[in-house]
Amino acid sequence: MATTTDISTYKFNHTMLRVKDPERSIKFYELIGMKVIYKIPNPEWKFDLYFLAYDGPKAESAGNHWTDREGIVELTHNYGTESNPEYTINNGNDEPHRDMLLSKYLAHVLNRIMLTDSIRFGHM
């Protein structure tokens, strides 16, 4: 017997990115207005998860549980990668996985912040 669900109720909760330096990565997302809304440390399995979202008073899901939101960025840090020179993660500037899409306003603000803080980005 087939079951169906109402796809109009589906939510895109989050996407996961692996990071080598969680503190530096979190700082980047804070520059564009996101903040850590939940952290799951997993020392026994040697990785930590950080969930970031827009959580200001005007955010549609401000204050909601992290599982009841849309547009979350999950950062996964595997212990030891920060000191392993052979471990690489795509940096977003090299092919084939090049680009990050933000709204035009956010891209403008981020560009100004990066120029102020002397942060180099592959292209804007």
Report domain extents, the chain: 12-89, 95-124
Q: What is the pTM of this model?
A: 0.71
Torsion from C-alpha of 88, 100, 75, 80, nearest 10 degrees: 10
Task: Divide the 124 residues of the chain into consecutive groups of 10 and give the mean pLDDT of each group.
Answer: 76 88 93 94 97 90 88 95 85 62 59 61 48
Q: Which superfamily, per CATH, for 12-89?
A: 2,3-Dihydroxybiphenyl 1,2-Dioxygenase, domain 1 (3.10.180.10)
Whole-number Å distance between alpha carbons of 76 and 74: 6
